[in-house]
Amino acid sequence: MTIANLWNRGVALAFAVAVLWPGTGMAADTLSSGDTAWILTSTALVLFMTLPGLALFYAGLVRASSVLSVLMHCFAICCVASILWLAVGYSLAFGDGGGANAVVGGLGKAFLAGIGPDTLSGTIPETVFFAFQMTFAIITPALIVGAYPERVKFSAVLFFSAVWLIVVYAPVTHWVWGGGWLADMGVMDFAGGIVVHVTAGISALVFAKMIGGRRGFPDQIRPPHHPGITMIGAAMLWVGWFGFNAGSALAADGNAGMAMVVTHISAAAASLTWAAVEWIKFGKPSLIGIVTGMVAGLATITPASGFVGPVGALIIGVAAGIVCQWMTTWIKQTIKIDDSLDVFAVHGVGGALGTVMVSFLATSMFQGLGLAEGMTIGKQLGVQLIGIGAVAAWSAFASYVIIKIAGAMFGLRVPDEEEIEGLDITSHGERGYDL
C-alpha cells in the first residue's frame, strides 16, 4: 500500500469520526438525556413557581374577602398563556421572522408546526425547550396580578394578560433570547431580569396608576390577612427559582450548578438585609419583610445568575435588600401609586438593578465568568442600560394602550360596593373562608 493510499484512508477515517462521533466539533446536535432530564425538571419547577407558589404568595397579602380572586387570576392566566404560547407566542419569540427577525419572530412555528418529538434545540428536544419557555410566559403576566388586586374586573385581567403576552412579552423575548437586536448588541440577561422582571414591573406600575388605589389608600389599607400563607408561597418560589435560573443554562453542567449556588446565596443575603433594615427602621423584623426580601434577591440575581460567582451574589443580595425595600416605601408614600403587592419595587427595580450590576460583577475581580470578547465594563454597562430603557419604554407604552382598550371594552374597576364586599363573592360567587 502506497503512502498516498494510507494518507487518503486516514483522512477518510478522521472525517468519519469527526462527523459521526458524539462530542466532536463537527458533529451535529445530538440528544443529551442528562440535559433533557434537567430541563424537564426545571420546567416543572418553574410552573411550580406560579402554581402554587406565586398564587399563595399573593393570596396571603390581600384581604380575606379577595383571596380567591387572586388565586383565580394566577390560575386563569396560566391557562390562557399556555394556549397562546402554543398558538403564536413561541413562534413570535423564537421563530425566524424573515426580514423582521431583529424585532419579532414569524409564524412559522405557530402551533409547533414542523416540530416533532425528534426535533432538537441544541441537546434537548425542541418540545422540551418550548415547554420550559412556556412556563416563563406563564409567570410573567401573572406577576402583574400584584398591581391590581381587590379592585379589578376579571374580564379586564384576562384581556390584558392575553394581549400583553403577544404584544409585549413575545417581542421582548425575541429581542433578548430569540436572536433579536438586543442579543446582537450583546445584552446580558441570563434568565429574565429584562425579559421577565422589567417587563412585568413597568407594566404593573402603569396598571396600578391607571386603575387607581384601593379604597382607603394610602392611609387606611388593611394589612395582609395571612402572612403564613405568603411565607408558604415564598418558600415555593425559592425552590422553583432553581429551575428558573439554573434551568436557563439549558444543560446539566457546571454553569447550571453555579447558577443554582448564586441564586440561593442572593436570596438568603437579600432576606437578611431586608429584615435588618426593618429592624433598624421599625424596631421589629416582619415575616412579610423577610420573605419579600427573598423574592427581591431572586429577581435581582436572575439576569446575572449565569455570569457571576458567589461574591457577586452576596453583593447583589445585599443591594437588593436595601434598594428594593426603600422603593416599596417610595412608590406608595412619595409618588402615591398603589402597586399593591410591590411588583415594580421588587421585580421591576430588582430586575433592572441586577441587569446593571452584572456589567462589573461578571468580571474575574468578583469571581465572575468574564465579559464577552472585546467588551469592557463601560461598554457592557451601556448595552445593559439600552436594554433596560428600550424594554421599559415599550412595556409602558404598550401596556398603556392595552389597558385603555380594556377599560373601553370591559371597564377596569369593579363598583365600590363590590370592592367593599370583596371580589371572591362578587366576581366568582365563592368565599375563601366560611366564618
Largest CA distance in the chain: 97
In the prediction, which pLDDT does 18 show? 35
Give the DSSP H or E segment for 200: helix 199-211
Instruction: Look at residue 253 and tell me whether its pLDDT is greater than 60.
Output: yes
> Using one digit for the tens of pLDDT, what is the confidence trace for 105-149?
999 999 999 999 999 999 999 999 999 999 999 999 999 999 999
In the prediction, which pLDDT does 101 show? 82
The backbone torsions φ and ψ at residue 58, rounded to the nearest 5 degrees and listed phi first, read: -70, -40
What are 34's three cell numbers? Answer: 442528562
- Residue 214 DSSP one-character state: P
Q: Tell me the sheet residues that pair with 152.
A: 413
> Using one digit for the tens of pLDDT, what is the confidence trace for 17-66?
333 333 333 345 799 999 999 999 999 999 999 999 999 999 999 999 99
Q: Which residue has the cell 396580578?
A: 145
Per cent of the chain over pLDDT 90 is 90
Beta strands in 23-178 (DSSP E): 120-121, 124-125
- Mean pLDDT, the chain, rounded, equals 93
Give the DSSP H or E segment for 323: helix 310-329
In the prediction, which pLDDT does 287 show? 98
Q: Which residue has the cell 412579610?
A: 288
Domains and CATH numbers, the chain: 30-428 (1.10.3430.10)
In the prediction, which pLDDT does 19 show? 34
DSSP per position, 173-189: HHHHHSS-HHHHHT---
Instruction: Look at residue 83 and tell me whether its pLDDT is greater than 70.
Output: yes
What is the mean predicted confidence (pLDDT) over 304-320?
A: 98
Q: How far is CA 391 from CA 64, 397, 400, in A?
A: 35, 10, 14
